[in-house]
Structure 1
């Protein structure tokens, strides 16, 4: 109902800034010195060039078929990553940039670089025969070029938007999102090429190259590229969270992550020439353990972040910040989900959005303070003055957005969490 609408709605009139309150930062793109439109426009140009190159090879029919089939797994994978990154509100704009980078810029770099390097391998003085050049491209050239192109998204975010890559989970999600975009465009090429060939030959659907390509790339291995890139994200994320005094480890870990991504990618590509038995062996002995490793790392990182929220937020609790007292509702996955459901049930979609904004801000505050304490009182991306300024801004945003929907939903979820934690009589 209208009289119960929470404060801080997007359609509400913005109140005047209080004296001493920090100014809201202006919108920042992922890269410095660029306006709000420059980066998306550049990525769209790269995407248009990639689509033109694919159309030259597959034709309009192949392009349309490839786009339709390659798009099928993307929403599922993006939703899974978005849920994994739900603790990192500051990274959402970064995830969007990573997705666009992988689908457009990284693919364009890979198409051009792979083609140039293959031509160099075939030409004098290298003089390699075509089969050896193709094998070398598959197992060495393509993995190096593609993993470096995908990893560049995480590096750019880390350099120019450090809040988007502030830990292991954020690094994994950014790298995997870039890989999802890359895999989508690559699947458009392979599926479009197969569809054009099947149409030319009149092959039945069941025995078609399109069906076989779809089975391998979309059904059996949709997470191949995200898995490779996740290793790069782990390496860079670990380097970010380590203290500054550990310079050697911070310098080596990103390269180790990139090397692991290239090695796994190379083994996966090489498995295609080992027959069905070799392919299944690589699938079981390398891909599954690597996937289990990445999932384990992400689960551990998420639990550590939730623990930081539970430990840090109570320090900010007080008469002017009553919501911080319900840290159990903000520091557990079940409590966060229950808070959103209660707000939606009692206050509608506007209440749920207000709670999500409050959760995001409170989580960012807790992680900011936790990272600063682990780095000796200074955050990994700035000086003590920047830390204090950012902390004050987040506290001001919490006070501004707090309303009845937030307070009551947090208290209700905290009560349920307390009852669930109470031992049975």
Structure 2
């Protein structure tokens, strides 16, 4: 009993999280294999791996400024690849069936792709950041706070008012898990802005989560396209002819669209959620702390819904949305990453002093 009581809560929570993610991995693997087949699953996973090093490399470059621990990035990657995709596949299926049953086939599919899917997927991906912030051990009230509480109950009115001001204010941010890269600055006018490291950490965590989600989603779509192309080829020419690249036009088209043109689409969407949460946790402005996280989530949903709606506008409509919306947003994200790296590189390392400064 003493050994069990001395077990640390972070170790227990880490073990439970690993078991839950392993169960989601087995479940999502079975769900994808049902829709693609074994061969389609292997081909889809192989093709989905190709853009992964470039996206993770860019996020690792940005993480040099954010300094997010490896265990947190691995958790977000696994959450996006296993847990978020499991929730998204199940919830998207239920939402699609509900909308088709009540709105008709064409209108139900349109509403599902433009509204229900962004809402479900961005919420599932953004939940990884909230899980990281959950407290892993019980916080005990300090002796000074208990003393203030006793004074507030047993003292006269004037002393009760003084004790009320002495007690620390309880809010949502004070109850969350304190993380070094989401450290809140002092509430002063000169330091009301968020730290560049904090903003970079939010973008890195959101981007890594979306990178895992995009990998599993690409494996599903590419495996399904390969299975369809293989079946149509068998139906048309049979087994005797030698296969060519023209026999797999659907697979090539899907890979060009998802692996070459938009490998940073999902990381861009969820990076907005991470940025909003980072600003909300660290800013000293109360109104901004309340609006930043919901605004970031709504912006990610809106951008995701616009991207899904562009697929139904034809080739010219898709290229127009891609050139006027996605390219500028991606360029803004690149400029943000360069700005963060430049700001963090200017700051002196802790323990060093500037030239000409007086050391006491």
* TM-score range normalised by the length of the shorter chain: 0.7 to 0.9
State how far apart, in whole Å, the 2-side matches of 1:153 and 1:162 are: 16
CA RMSD of aligned residues (A): 2.3
Q: Which has the higher contact order (CA 8 A, sep 6+)?
A: 2
SS of 2:133's partner is helix
Spell out the pairing of 1:108-257 with structure 2 (5 A cutoff): 108-123=86-101, 127-160=102-135, 162-163=178-179, 165-166=181-182, 167-202=198-233, 204-206=244-246, 208-243=249-284, 246-257=285-296
- TM-score, normalisation: structure 1: 0.63
Runs of 4+ in 1 over 4 A off after TM superposition: none
| Distance apart, 1:174 and its partner CA | 0.3
Aligned partners of 1:176 and 1:80: how far apart in 2? Answer: 10
Aligned to 1:53: 31
Superposition pairs of residues 300-379 of structure 1, within 5 angstroms: 300-308=339-347, 310=348, 313=350, 316=351, 324=352
Deviations 1:188-224 (A, max 9, x none): 1100100111111118423521111001000111111
TM-score by length of 2: 0.74
Shift of 1:288: 1.3
Q: Deviations over 1:130-179 (max 9, x none)?
A: 11111111101101111111111122223445426521100000000000
Partner Cα distance (2:280, 2:341) in 1: 17
- Asked if the contact 1:231–1:294 (Cα under 8 Å) also holds between the matched residues in 2, the reply is no
| 1:103 matched residue in structure 2 | 81
Rounded to whole Å, the distance in 1 between the matches of 2:299 and 2:345 is 28
Aligned residue runs from structure 1 range 7-22, under 5 A = none
CA separation in 2, counterparts of 1:304 and 1:118?
A: 45
Deviations 1:217-257 (A, max 9, x none): 001111110111111111112223312xx222111011111
- In 1, are the aligned partners of 2:125 and 2:270 still within 8 Å (CA)? yes
Specify the SS of the correspondent of 2:88: helix
Pair 33,119 (structure 1): closer, same or farther in 2 beyond 3 Å: farther
Whether the 8 Å CA contact 1:91–1:165 is kept in 2: the answer is: no
The answer for the alignment partner of 1:356 in structure 2 is none
The alignment of Structure 1 onto Structure 2 pairs a total of residues equal to: 284
SS of residue paired to 1:37: helix
2:20 counterpart residue number: 42
Which residue is 2:309 aligned to? Answer: 270
- Whether the 8 Å CA contact 1:168–1:241 is kept in 2: the answer is no
Structure 1 residues 119 and 165, CA, compared in 2 at 3 Å: closer, same or farther?
farther
